[in-house]
Structure 1
């Protein structure tokens, strides 16, 4: 009897494992031309993008992905410049945030200012969001035209071009795979977020 139960338990575990497997063309797609040298997990977004706001501030997809990543896996987030009148300036501002290590500090207030209160209308308004979030104005100014920030802007632009980015939000793994949210179950948002994060984890571990 014990052997039978163990066999049944093994079958159930095997079924559970197979049910969670991901499929190329469904939860993700393999890029025609893999891009070497990209971050392990790379997310593209725009502060102008309503879906990016939902992903970040409502569904907390990025946070869930980070928590599920294998230890030591690096996750990077790049801003795109092709949306909105200040898209290029916001990409540079995001480079400032990366250079100063204040990405988490800036994300929510910048989304709020761009999409909700619509108080970001000029480059000066972008700077003010940083200051209001606790970043010293002189630190922001020093970083704005620095070599480091210019390099980070170039990195963001090059990655978007190399990966032939078509829209945001978008997430890539190892420069080989792109997540495909349309192939996931969106009937339950909590389940969707978990499936999205699980897919990223499996792609990171994929050989």
Structure 2
């Protein structure tokens, strides 16, 4: 009986906290609720997607804030980086990211790629230039080039394009929670505020899932 009361109190406190936060966040202001939800990549988990471009200074500036947050997310949350594909060099850099991710080395060189573009002035606009840059970081040149030009990566590019269209993004960095809620740093009020909003929407989805059980 005591356990039941304690559980009920916890539920009430959680609901109160979510309600209190809800007064600060409103669909149409800090975030947009998508009219057609987009399926998540891992059903059963709350998905948080960060859409970015390696050439975007705002995405680069967001890195020191979003990375520690993403590393501490609970087990029921799945964090995904997705390159925005708006054509030209956006697509080239997106293909770079998808290649690194496919090779399983993205987590090792992701920051270095950002710094090469924004601190060292590298363009990384051709696969050959990318391969030369990545080789000293332990990425095999031949494997990188063959993967970059592979049919599998072309399929991933098309998938990324379709997701960007489904999310109805117009710029980066943009975040999407569980395929339902889209927002950017500007609408949220800043980098830290964007992650607070993400936390709120994660809690909202977690509460919705419990109600539906």
Partner of 1:80: 84
> Deviation per CA, 1:163-192, whole angstroms, max 9, x where unpaired?
221000011122211135445454xx65x3
Partner of 1:93: 96
Match of 1:20, SS state, is helix
Partner of 1:19: 20
Would you say how many aligned residue pairs link Structure 1 and Structure 2?
191
Q: Distance in 2 between matches of 1:185 and 1:194?
A: 10
* CA apart distance, 1:16: 4.7
Q: Distance in 2 between matches of 1:168 and 1:194?
A: 15
Q: Distance in 2 between matches of 1:41 and 1:127?
A: 30
2:48 is matched with which residue: 27, 41, 52?
Answer: 41
* CA apart distance, 1:142: 2.3
Alpha carbons of structure 1 residues 152 and 204: separation in structure 2 relative to 1, 3 Å: farther
Q: Does 1:108 align with 2:115?
A: no
Q: Distance in 1 between matches of 2:142 and 2:19?
A: 54
Q: Distance in 1 between matches of 2:124 and 2:171?
A: 23
* CA apart distance, 1:52: 0.4
Higher relative contact order (CA 8 A, sep 6+): 1
* CA apart distance, 1:17: 4.9
CA contact 1:29–1:177 (8 Å) conserved in 2: yes
Q: Distance in 2 between matches of 1:185 and 1:99?
A: 34
Structure 1 ranges of 4+ moved more than 6 A: none
Match of 2:138, SS state, is coil
TM-score for both structures, normalised by structure 1: 0.77
Comparing 193-202 with 40-49, which one deviates more in the overlay? 193-202
Partner of 2:146: 142
Partner of 1:201: 202
Give the root-mean-square deviation of aligned CA atoms.
Answer: 2.9
Comparing 124-133 with 142-151, which one deviates more in the overlay? 124-133
State how 1:154-193 maps to structure 2 within 5 Å. Answer: 154-184=158-188, 186=190, 192=193
Match of 1:23, SS state, is coil
Alpha carbons of structure 1 residues 126 and 23: separation in structure 2 relative to 1, 3 Å: same
Q: Distance in 2 between matches of 1:81 and 1:17?
A: 35
CA contact 2:34–2:181 (8 Å) conserved in 1: yes
